[in-house]
Structure 1
Amino acid sequence: MTLATKDVVSSFVDAWDYMTGQYPGHLHARTPGLAVSLSQTNCSFFNMLVVDRPIDSAAELHGVFAEARRQDAQCPHDSMVVVCPEWLPDGAEAVLADHRMVHFMNMWGMCADQLLPPRRSPPALDFRLAAD
């Protein structure tokens, strides 16, 4: 796991908080291991429960999912739990099955510890003031 992964997840949570915050009655909460962004709408894509850090054990994952269920109970609509696969502990498949979690979709982003230099020079730009 890289620091960049934490930054990507944090940016994701911030974006979902911003989007879901536009809806009246939205719910945002942070609990140990879980970021909650519920729009309270019937679009599960805007009702997200995000595991926001690496989980060390199956027992801890059970606890995070139990908290996700408690938070989800505050929303009358479906929600999605987002988990970074590299943050799951050994035995996670059994925990996912115990909580009746199924894979729904891949969310992806790009992160790297460092970027390679550009392959070519940037183009010359001509900035002009536009006035009507």
Structure 2
Amino acid sequence: MIQRFIELGEGYSDIYELIELAKANKERLLHMMAYHTVINNREVSSLVVVLKPTTPGDFQPLYICREGIPNPNIKPNKRYELFQEAAHELNKEIIQLEVKPSLQFSEKELFYQYLIGILRMNHYIPPLS
């Protein structure tokens, strides 16, 4: 099984693409998630759409808009509301997690490996097979 984050951007106009990916893949949609963190004293969030693995191929994409949206628990905002409306329309609850910021990692790939470890440990995505 290959699980990979696919970064769309920071959540400005690309938030619409993230939402469309969820809607277009509603049969494969596994989770909609929000990862909250603090960067330079700013509370920010990443929004994520997790799809079920492909068959065949066992590739599981995790689409992310990384750390560009204000944390909605601190500062409500329209971009998060759009994501929330899509989750409601797709009968999904947004899973919220507190995570380390990507700046704490020397490479973005290490940050994504850290997130995949958290998701596997909490059984949100399957373990390596």
The structure, 1 or 2, with the larger RCO (C-alpha pairs under 8 Å, 6+ apart) is 2
**1 or 2, which has the higher strand percentage?**
2
Larger radius of gyration: 1
* TM bucket, shorter chain: 0.3 to 0.5
TM value normalised by structure 2: 0.35
